[in-house]
Chains A and B, each alone.
Chain A
Amino acid sequence: MLSAMPRRYELLPIVLAVVALGGCERRKLCNAPDCGTLVDAAIGEPGTLLPASTEEITARDVEEQLFLKLADVGMSMNTIGDEDFQPLLAQKWEWDGPLTLVFHIDPRARWHDGQPVTAVDVAFTFDAYNDSTVASPYRAQLKRIASVTARDSLAVVFRFRERYPEMFYDAVYHMRVLPAHLLRSVPRDQWRTAAFGRQPVGDGPYRFVSWQAGQAIELRADTTFFLGRPGIRRLIWQFTPDLGVAVTQLVADQVDVREQLVTPAMIDRVRTAPQVKLYPYAGNTYSYLAFNLRANGDTSKPHPIFGDREVRRALTMAVDRASLVKSTLGDIGKVPPGPMSSLLWIWDPEIRQLPHDTAQAARILNARGWRDHDGDGVRDRDGQPLAFRILVPSTSVLRRQYAQLLQEQYRVIGIHVEIDALEPGALQQRISSGRFDAAILSRANDPSPSSGITQTWTSAGIGGSNYTRYSSPEFDRLVDRAIGAASRNQAKQLWRAAMETINADAPAIFLYSPGNMAGIHGRVDNVQIRPDSWAALLRTWRIPPDRQIDRDRVEP
């Protein structure tokens, strides 16, 4: 008979009948203390597991287990300096002058094929990430590193173009070290489709086992891992195309982890499952109502409504963001104090924002000539109604809901809003070509405020991710100074000033930053979740022997 059979299998007559007909199957049982199988309900399947070529979320989670960085950010999420970073592949490091950083690789580190990890691998990795043919999404983040060279087999030297507070962060956070001996022969223009990406050989706590297309990726603990044997022996990412189905699988005890429960309704559903524990952690996204400051479809002219700073301020004051968050996200959402998620260390509720004040909003609109002259309930000026359209992706229930709530709040003060729900590709094209009035958009942050805020809100981002085309020399100057600040305290003050500047100019209404809630099977112990990457510390999780269930004991 099947020696290890999950409880739910015993319920199924069909299975038993066919097993009886087809003969029984004997599987070994695991009795070791590190027995354990963790199944994650992953939304979407990665294209490749070659870290330089992808930034998909599931790929990143799996790569966390397969490929090491030299060091990684700590739980504090402090990206300035190097004191809060945790060594991984690098045993230690030292500064050799203001622009030179030397890492010493742990001599115990090995690739899963037995080859030692060397400084040559690190230099090779930098070269690959920096090669435009490889088309790495992280290339832009490495532009301030001039070179990476191997000093000897275990010492690697990073030389920077300039001195700035996040030099160490840039050196270690974006790159996962790759095996030069396996990838050197692969032509760079074929990296995206390289066989290595579907059968990777890494140096991390877990080894790659299998990838069933459309179904699952399986990893197994590397018992010889030089930083200590992982606590759980087997990891499986089971692909699910739909978040609702993933939550149902968690509630039905068919998977162990769903790292993001997006809505209060999902959290409430998971609360009904006694076997699941909830773990809150900081979210890395924020959403905003972006105003197009240039005319819809014609970037040479200002937008007739949003080109006016005072009108934008009035539109911001007319929205009760706190009640919107409460009604849509409950306790898991917050009103962001600027364009940032709660992941960022610059998050500060004391940052000055425009208040919710509909009376003041109405006064401003009256003063700017937007009055209801014809008594139809909609303000107008020179015969033009105060009306605009909000674009939302049709795939986001939350953003469509937000658009409807905004529509209602604006109706009360005489502003007519229409909502266009577009397929994401169509939405992307409309916003990137400037053919929109307003849109509810979302952005994800990595732990550093520098790159995301620069790309989306400074003048440098116009033509890229700065869809509002907001351009403020004062804001740009403050951001530049914050990025180059000598200390964390000084940087925080400068970021605060920058945020208050953008809040006052109101190129967008910063609506919500959802916190994250992970649902994880209660038998899993020592769960630590780093907000920027829930799976970063997976190797420290464990399942105590007395809590193991049938699926933990199945030998692969």
Chain B
Amino acid sequence: MTAWLLRRLAASVAIVFAVVTFVFILIHLAPGDPCIVGTGEGIPDPEVCRSLVRQFGLDQPILVQYWRYLAELAHGNLGYSFALHRPVRDALADTLPFTLQLAGAALLIDFGLGLALGIYQALRLNRLPDVVLGNITLFVYSLPTFWLGLILLLLFGETLRLFPVGGAGDPILCPLVDSFYCLADRLWHMVLPAATLGLVGAAGTARFQRAAMLEVAQQDFVRTARAKGLPERRVVLRHQLRNALLSVITRFGLTLPFLLTGAVLVETIFAWPGMGRLTVDAILRRDYAVVTAAALIASALVVAGSLIADMLLGFADPRIRVRDDAFVDVVTA
């Protein structure tokens, strides 16, 4: 297990490094000058531009810039944002918690609701609730996230006025989360964006879980458990569900990237001040340092999620746990 973990950690670092390198080169090669892009369609004073470009080291060859970036990164410095006029570390420190809160809440909806629906459907196979829920989950799963977000915003925000239209908190009463009331306010503001992000995933998880439950239900050990006279509740929870969870754990690892990319759209629609919104703005303004740092953080999170999923799988499945050397092969097979 330890050897496997070390190998995975080394591979993770390599993946993150490759992503950062790729993004760094790609964003620098993308057309557009950071000095000009942020100023609309006029050209700023060339001398002003030259001065700014010099101050931010953007007049150097790309390899020199890359080398400097790595050297700074090794010291924990993510650079200065050209557009935000502040250290990238500060900008990310302000936005990353919001993205993690949103992704966490969406993950809760995704797997909480998805698992419950999938199990419920499997236990009522081909009966009315299964058919109805099957169609509903298929419909929701096929919805584009941004469309669902807009519909929820217009329906529950503008028309019914049950939830706030954007933002992470009430700027009048709760500029900071410094009380229970403001914590509730934050949660209230999170309902629509988290639902947008989580519902589509929940529909997918439900279909996944239903299929897994049905597959396990055909296995000999489930039949044997029933034949032994175990109560149905015990058969379902102890034997069927536990084994059916394996495929959902794999899905958990795959969901994290989706949540982070989905957050980009959702954060824009709901004015959620997260890292996704920061990244989109940075791409549009050719804010190289922010884009590269955001890619670094996002890839690290995705790799970490995948690692956690693999470890959970190992803990959940004794067949994987016993063969230490073969751990990685079994997991990734």
Give chain B residues whose Cβ lies under 8 Å from the Cβ of A44: 281
Asked if A213 and B94 sit within 8 Å, CB to CB, the answer is: yes
20 further interface pairs, Cβ-Cβ under 8 Å (given A214-B98, A242-B271): A6-B172, A14-B184, A18-B183, A19-B184, A47-B86, A54-B85, A140-B48, A212-B175, A213-B91, A213-B95, A215-B168, A215-B273, A241-B267, A241-B277, A248-B166, A254-B165, A254-B166, A429-B31, A432-B36, A465-B42
In the assembly, what is the distance between CA of A551 and CA of B172, in Å? 7
Give chain B residues whose Cβ lies under 8 Å from the Cβ of A431: 41
Among B13-21, B130-138, B150-158, the stretch that binds chain A is B150-158
Residues 159-188 of B at the A interface (beta carbon under 8 Å): 161-173, 175-176, 179-181, 183-185, 187-188
For B278, give the chain A residue with the smallest CB separation: A214
* A249 contacts the other chain (CB 8 A): yes
Give chain A residues whose Cβ lies under 8 Å from the Cβ of B191: 14
The 13 listed contacts between A and B (C-beta, < 8 Å) are: A14-B191, A25-B180, A37-B172, A133-B55, A139-B45, A192-B52, A193-B87, A198-B86, A218-B171, A242-B268, A455-B42, A465-B43, A554-B173
In the assembly, what is the distance between CA of A424 and CA of B30, in Å? 11
Asked if A14 and B41 sit within 8 Å, CB to CB, the answer is: no
Asked if B180 and A251 sit within 8 Å, CB to CB, the answer is: no
Asked if A236 and B32 sit within 8 Å, CB to CB, the answer is: no
Closest chain-A Cβ to B31's Cβ sits at a distance in Å of 4
Given contacts A135-B52, A465-B43, contact A254 B164 (CB under 8 A): yes
In the assembly, what is the distance between CA of A391 and CA of B179, in Å? 51
Given contacts A425-B31, A455-B42, A464-B46, contact A214 B277 (CB under 8 A): yes
* B69 contacts the other chain (CB 8 A): no
* A32 contacts the other chain (CB 8 A): no
* A264 contacts the other chain (CB 8 A): no
Asked if A242 and B269 sit within 8 Å, CB to CB, the answer is: yes
Instruction: Give the interface of A toward B (CB within 8 A).
Output: 2, 5-6, 8, 11-12, 14-15, 17-19, 21-25, 27, 37, 39, 44, 47-48, 53-55, 132-133, 135-137, 139-140, 189, 192-193, 197-198, 210, 212-216, 218, 234, 236, 238-242, 245, 248-249, 251-254, 423-426, 428-432, 441-444, 455-456, 464-465, 551, 554
Between A37, A48, A212, the greatest number of chain B beta carbons within 10 A of the residue's beta carbon is seen for A212
For B160, give the chain A residue with the smallest CB separation: A11
Asked if A55 and B39 sit within 8 Å, CB to CB, the answer is: yes
In the assembly, what is the distance between CA of A245 and CA of B196, in Å? 15
Asked if B80 and A193 sit within 8 Å, CB to CB, the answer is: yes
Between B39, B87, B181, the greatest number of chain A beta carbons within 10 A of the residue's beta carbon is seen for B181
Give chain A residues whose Cβ lies under 8 Å from the Cβ of B269: 242, 245
Asked if A249 and B32 sit within 8 Å, CB to CB, the answer is: no
In the assembly, what is the distance between CA of A140 and CA of B51, in Å? 14
For A18, give the chain B residue with the smallest CB separation: B184
In the assembly, what is the distance between CA of A464 and CA of B81, in Å? 25
Give chain B residues whose Cβ lies under 8 Å from the Cβ of A251: 158
Give chain A residues whose Cβ lies under 8 Å from the Cβ of B280: 241
Instruction: Give the interface of B toward A (CB within 8 A).
Output: 30-33, 36-37, 39-49, 51-52, 55, 80-81, 83-87, 90-91, 94-95, 98, 153-154, 157-158, 161-173, 175-176, 179-181, 183-185, 187-188, 191, 267-271, 273-274, 277-278, 280-281, 284, 286
Give chain B residues whose Cβ lies under 8 Å from the Cβ of A455: 42-43
Given contacts A214-B94, A248-B165, contact A15 B271 (CB under 8 A): no
Closest chain-A Cβ to B236's Cβ sits at a distance in Å of 32
Asked if B51 and A443 sit within 8 Å, CB to CB, the answer is: no
Out of B172, B183, B277, name the residue touching A554 (CB < 8 Å): B172
Asked if A241 and B157 sit within 8 Å, CB to CB, the answer is: no
For A467, give the chain B residue with the smallest CB separation: B41
For A236, give the chain B residue with the smallest CB separation: B171
Between B36, B55, B80, the greatest number of chain A beta carbons within 10 A of the residue's beta carbon is seen for B55
In the assembly, what is the distance between CA of A193 and CA of B82, in Å? 9
Asked if A137 and B48 sit within 8 Å, CB to CB, the answer is: yes
Given contacts A239-B271, A425-B284, contact A135 B48 (CB under 8 A): yes
For B166, give the chain A residue with the smallest CB separation: A245
Given contacts A214-B278, A241-B271, A424-B37, contact A23 B51 (CB under 8 A): no
Between B40, B270, B278, the greatest number of chain A beta carbons within 10 A of the residue's beta carbon is seen for B40
In the assembly, what is the distance between CA of A413 and CA of B154, in Å? 43
Give chain B residues whose Cβ lies under 8 Å from the Cβ of A426: 30-32
Closest chain-A Cβ to B235's Cβ sits at a distance in Å of 37
Give chain B residues whose Cβ lies under 8 Å from the Cβ of A213: 90-91, 94-95, 273
Give chain B residues whose Cβ lies under 8 Å from the Cβ of A39: 171-172
In the assembly, what is the distance between CA of A239 and CA of B180, in Å? 24
Asked if A216 and B175 sit within 8 Å, CB to CB, the answer is: yes
Give chain A residues whose Cβ lies under 8 Å from the Cβ of B90: 213
For A49, give the chain B residue with the smallest CB separation: B85
Asked if B184 and A15 sit within 8 Å, CB to CB, the answer is: yes
Asked if A425 and B30 sit within 8 Å, CB to CB, the answer is: yes
Out of B32, B42, B52, B165, name the residue touching A425 (CB < 8 Å): B32
For B36, give the chain A residue with the smallest CB separation: A428
Given contacts A14-B187, A213-B94, contact A23 B161 (CB under 8 A): no
Give chain B residues whose Cβ lies under 8 Å from the Cβ of A54: 85
Give chain B residues whose Cβ lies under 8 Å from the Cβ of A210: 175
Closest chain-B Cβ to A216's Cβ sits at a distance in Å of 4
Closest chain-A Cβ to B283's Cβ sits at a distance in Å of 8
Closest chain-B Cβ to A310's Cβ sits at a distance in Å of 28
In the assembly, what is the distance between CA of A213 and CA of B179, in Å? 19
For B52, give the chain A residue with the smallest CB separation: A135
For A285, give the chain B residue with the smallest CB separation: B40
Given contacts A242-B271, A441-B41, contact A252 B277 (CB under 8 A): no
Give chain B residues whose Cβ lies under 8 Å from the Cβ of A240: 166-167, 271
Closest chain-A Cβ to B275's Cβ sits at a distance in Å of 10
Asked if A236 and B172 sit within 8 Å, CB to CB, the answer is: yes
Given contacts A27-B173, A136-B48, A425-B37, contact A47 B83 (CB under 8 A): yes
In the assembly, what is the distance between CA of A441 and CA of B41, in Å? 7
Give chain A residues whose Cβ lies under 8 Å from the Cβ of B184: 14-15, 17-19, 22
Out of A21, A216, A465, name the residue touching B171 (CB < 8 Å): A216
Between A132, A241, A442, A464, the greatest number of chain B beta carbons within 10 A of the residue's beta carbon is seen for A241
Given contacts A193-B86, A214-B98, contact A135 B51 (CB under 8 A): yes
In the assembly, what is the distance between CA of A426 and CA of B29, in Å? 11
In the assembly, what is the distance between CA of A53 and CA of B55, in Å? 14
For B45, give the chain A residue with the smallest CB separation: A140
Asked if A424 and B273 sit within 8 Å, CB to CB, the answer is: no
